[in-house]
Amino acid sequence: MFREIPLERPATPLLDTIDSPSQLRELEETELAQLSRELREFLLYTVGQTGGHFGAGLGVVELTIALHYIYNTPEDRLVWDVGHQCYPHKILTGRRERMNTMRKPSGLAGFPKREESEYDTFGVGHSSTSISAALGMAIAARQQGIDRHAVAIIGDGAMTAGMAFEAITHATHTGANMLVVLNDNQMSISKNTGGLNTYFSKMWASKTYNQIRSSGKSVLRKIPGPATNIAARLEEYMKGMVSPATLFEELGFNYIGPIDGNDLDILVPTLRNLRELKGPQMLHIMTQKGKGFEPAEQDPVGFHAISKIEPKTSNGKKPSTPKYQDVFGKWLCDQAEQCPSLVGITPAMCEGSGMLAFSERFPDRFYDVAIAEQHALTLAAGMACDGLKPVVAIYSTFLQRAYDQLIHDIALQNLDVTFGIDRAGLVGEDGPTHAGAFDLSFLRCIPNMVIAAPSDENETRQLLHTAYAYPGPAAVRYPRGTGPGVAMIEDMTAVEIGKGVLRREGKTTAILCFGTLLSAATEAAETLDASVADMRFVKPLDTALIDSLAQSHDLIVTVEENAIAGGAGSAVAEYLQQAGYCLPILHLGLPDAFIDHGKHNLMLSAVGLDRPGILASIQTKLEQLALAPPLSSIN
142 in catalytic set: no
Q: Among residues 433, 450, 514, 444, which one has the least CA distance to residue 479? A: 514
What does the chain come to in residues? 635
CB 418 within 8 A of CB 474: yes
In angstroms, the CA 205 to CA 178 distance is 32
CB neighbourhood size of 600 (10 A): 16
Q: Distance of CA 213 to CAs 223, 228, 233, 235, 244, Å?
A: 16, 13, 12, 7, 19
Catalytic residue among 77, 90, 103, 289: 289
Pairing of strands 555-563, 531-534: unpaired
CB 112 within 8 A of CB 125: no
In angstroms, the CA 156 to CA 270 distance is 20
Catalytic residue among 40, 77, 401, 461: 401
148 in catalytic set: no
| DSSP for 37-97, written as a single string | HHHHHHHHHHHHHH-EE-HHHHHTHHHHHHHHHHS-TTTSEEEESSSTT-HHHHIIIIIGG
Backbone phi and psi for residue 588, each to the nearest 5 degrees, phi listed first: -115, 125
401 in catalytic set: yes
Backbone phi and psi for residue 50, each to the nearest 5 degrees, phi listed first: -115, -20
CB 532 within 8 A of CB 446: no
Catalytic residue among 373, 429, 560, 561: 373
Backbone phi and psi for residue 429, each to the nearest 5 degrees, phi listed first: -65, -20
Residues classed as catalytic: 289, 373, 401
